[in-house]
A = this chain, B = another copy of it.
Amino acid sequence: MLIARVMIDAGDVAWIESPGYGGAYAAAFAAGAEIVGVPVDADGLKIAANARAPRLIFVTPSHQYPTGCLMPIGRRLELLRFAEGVGAAIIEDDYDGEFHYEGRPVAALAAIDPDAFVFYVGTFSKAMSADIRVGYVVVPESMISTFELAQRHLGLLTSATLQTALTEFIERGAYLAHVRRMTRLYRERRDCLIRALAEVVGTRLAVDVPAGGMQLLVRYTGLTDDSDLSRRLLRSGVVARPLSKMFHHRSQERGLFLGFAAWTNAELVDGVKLIGRCIL
């Protein structure tokens, strides 16, 4: 929201991943942007050479939201070159980069080229609690004073006391230890959810196995109305957001977006049984 309000003038074009994060859409829309939903492939946002040139590009390269895919270095370099060419700023939302399970993480866009116009966004909402209301943006150096002013005037301040406590928590090494512990736990839960899905619904569902993060996407080609399925599951106590609601372009793909980080293995197995009963 802060970045969109600073960078977007009414009518500027913003590229949003499709499927993608609704919060990014809302922020760009509220700032007056014309939004282009750019389809995502297995490497993340696919540069849309024919679409209107953007002022702002929103991406989640660590684990694409919601597909979970990792943007490889080749696509990252391509994206940086493209953004520089058209004079676009990039928002790199690394909302759950702390939790990485497989393979080496790829260098952040903001780290590949220190001169690139990239806003690197992170949060303590996932590793700590959404309740602490602390996130951060690494802002291009030329923009620091503008952002300080905008943050103050938009009322987007966070508690200084909390930030001090968090700093101490990080400096003592407790944050890193916590993230490591949770990474092990979340990997187990991810694997448990994948096993349960394979057992109960087998090949009827295709799972996008994410290299990290807290959610995974389950695609179901036989499914025509994932919103209705989602509503039915919710009545049984299973939170499964419909993929069709996450597209910002027309798409026939259907599926369910399942969080695994907040549930025990037993809860995950029970949830999958309920999914099985609803779709079989």
The chain A residues found within 8 Å of chain B, CB to CB, are 1-2, 5, 10, 23, 26-27, 30, 129, 131-133, 153-162
Select which of B1, B30, B153, B159 is within 8 A of A131 by beta carbon: B159
Q: How many chain copies does the complex carry?
A: 2
Shortest distance between the CB of A90 and any CB in chain B (Å)? 19
Are A30 and B1 CB-contacts (below 8 A) given A155-B156, A159-B132? no
- Whether A154 lies near B10 (C-beta < 8 A) is no
Listed by A's residue number, 22 A-B pairs whose Cβ atoms lie within 8 Å are: A1-B153, A1-B154, A1-B155, A2-B155, A5-B30, A10-B10, A23-B153, A23-B155, A26-B153, A27-B153, A30-B153, A30-B154, A129-B161, A131-B159, A131-B160, A131-B161, A132-B159, A133-B133, A133-B157, A133-B158, A133-B159, A155-B156
Residues of B within 8 A of A156 (CB): 155-156
Residues of B within 8 A of A157 (CB): 133
Residues of B within 8 A of A26 (CB): 153
Shortest distance between the CB of A152 and any CB in chain B (Å)? 8
Residues of B within 8 A of A129 (CB): 161
Shortest distance between the CB of A41 and any CB in chain B (Å)? 28
Distance, CA A20 to CA B30, complexed state (A): 27
Distance, CA A156 to CA B1, complexed state (A): 10
Shortest distance between the CB of A217 and any CB in chain B (Å)? 23
Distance, CA A1 to CA B30, complexed state (A): 13
The residue of chain B having its C-beta at the shortest distance from the C-beta of A25 within the complex is: B153
Shortest distance between the CB of A63 and any CB in chain B (Å)? 21
Interface centre among A133, A160, A161 (most CB of B within 10 A): A133
Distance, CA A123 to CA B153, complexed state (A): 16
Residues of B within 8 A of A160 (CB): 131
8 closest A-B pairs by CB: A26-B153, A1-B155, A131-B159, A131-B161, A133-B159, A131-B160, A1-B154, A30-B153
Distance, CA A156 to CA B156, complexed state (A): 7
Distance, CA A111 to CA B148, complexed state (A): 37
The residue of chain B having its C-beta at the shortest distance from the C-beta of A155 within the complex is: B1
Distance, CA A132 to CA B157, complexed state (A): 10
Distance, CA A230 to CA B132, complexed state (A): 37
Distance, CA A133 to CA B163, complexed state (A): 13
Interface centre among A5, A153, A156, A160 (most CB of B within 10 A): A153
Residues of B within 8 A of A10 (CB): 10
The residue of chain B having its C-beta at the shortest distance from the C-beta of A164 within the complex is: B131
Distance, CA A1 to CA B153, complexed state (A): 8
Distance, CA A1 to CA B27, complexed state (A): 14
The residue of chain B having its C-beta at the shortest distance from the C-beta of A157 within the complex is: B133
